[in-house]
Structure 1
Amino acid sequence: MLKNFLNEVISIVVGKPSDSIVRLLEGDKYVNEFIIAKKLDLTINQTRNILYKISDYGLVSSIRKKDKKKGWYTYFWKIEVLKSLEFLKELTIKNITQLRNQIKSRETKGFYVCERCNIEFNEENAMLHDFTCNECGEVFTVKDNEKVIREFKKNEDKLVNKLKLIEEEITTEKARLDKIKMKELKKIEAEKLKQREEKRRIQKEAREKLKKESSKKKPSEKKSSKKKSSTPSKPKKNIKKPSKAKDKKKSKKK
């Protein structure tokens, strides 16, 4: 069902080669534009014109990569499934609205027909032509709207059912994209966690290295301190200063 919807969207935009384009672009991977051109049996310029036309509606996306040898850019394309479905949904809603307006018009207004020329006129135009066909001169007859209304209502039911299916596909596609997004987020988180663990490991190794280096330095410092203490220190000479009391006694004797 999804493929049918995508084919319908692309055929609305570019016409006949929709099936081939959808088959080439419906995957998650971007496809080289030269491969697309080859598969479609078109020139690269013709292929690009088709893709650009679809891109104008936002139904395809592209990335470009530079050829290291030749220096030019090559584009890679893929179909945007969700946007395509939403585009088709809007178009279907528009068609339903138009059809309902036609049903309402048929139920409230009169229509006339020239049976010979099979040309239909609303009441206003029929009055302008005096209820006579300009082509053949035949007098208009009243159109039986009941049959037309029944046909319109059948088409309306089909479009409503189609809209439900499109909405289901949109829900499915959104869920699929959410899963991919969650997977990517988990991958990013895992990568960040890995980087943090690696950083911690490097920091731990650096701390352990510093610890080892500092532990090697401490014994050498102790040895050097022991060597300093082993050298005999010169004894200090005690120089006795004459006390003031003795000086006083000597002065008295005199």
Structure 2
Amino acid sequence: MTAVAQSLRSEWTKVRSVRSTGWTLCVALVVTVALGALISALARNDYADMSAREQATFDPTFISFAGTGLGQLAMIVFGVLVVSTEYSTGMIRTSLAAVPRRGVFLFSKITVATLLVFVVGMATSFAAFFAGQAMLGDHRARFGDPGVARAVVGGGLYMTLITVFSMGVAVMLRGPMLSLGILMPFFFLVSNILGNVSATRKVGDYLPDQAGQRIMQVIPTEDDAPYGPWGGLGIMALWVLAALAAGYATLRRRDA
């Protein structure tokens, strides 16, 4: 068995053995689906009271992903825990002694976690869509409608990328408290403020979550973002690559 294969197997064992990581993925799925279904039901009840303009821009697909904003926080926690648990317990020294090539070590950890969250993210996105459309009744979208399949698949990709971005940040910062202390306020408060204030909206459009969420929209919004759904996901992917590159550079030059 090659060093890469052994490292991948080791990382898979680590992920399975940490109970908290599994729970965070379950929470992400349940919260995203349940909250999306609830908001979809409320939107169906309020549809008749909407103005003609609001009805014209009503996006039933995006409504079903209303729980993503909260569910992604659990994904962020998962990404941080996958990386920082070894630092907080001191097991990172043992891991790097077993896999001295730090590039192989980081590649294995990122690969295993990414594949896992990709499966969970896709399951969450599809479940949220179908649950939300069931709640919307006559106002629902169908999977075969233009742009809907792209939005649903994009929802799973978004959940995956937000997790990998969190992993890259956690590699740089090492400690779980510091990583979560920066990521949680950034995505839950700072990003929303920058994206909703007119003076800073153009900056907010290029933040990873604001740009990435465009992939889940089917009905175009009235803002003037100079990119489309795939362009927004591409911007998010660049943020992820930058976080991973910075994490790798930090890991290479720093002692465990």
TM-score range, shorter chain: under 0.3
TM-score (norm 1): 0.23
More strand by share: 1
TM-score (norm 2): 0.23
Bigger Cα Rg:
1
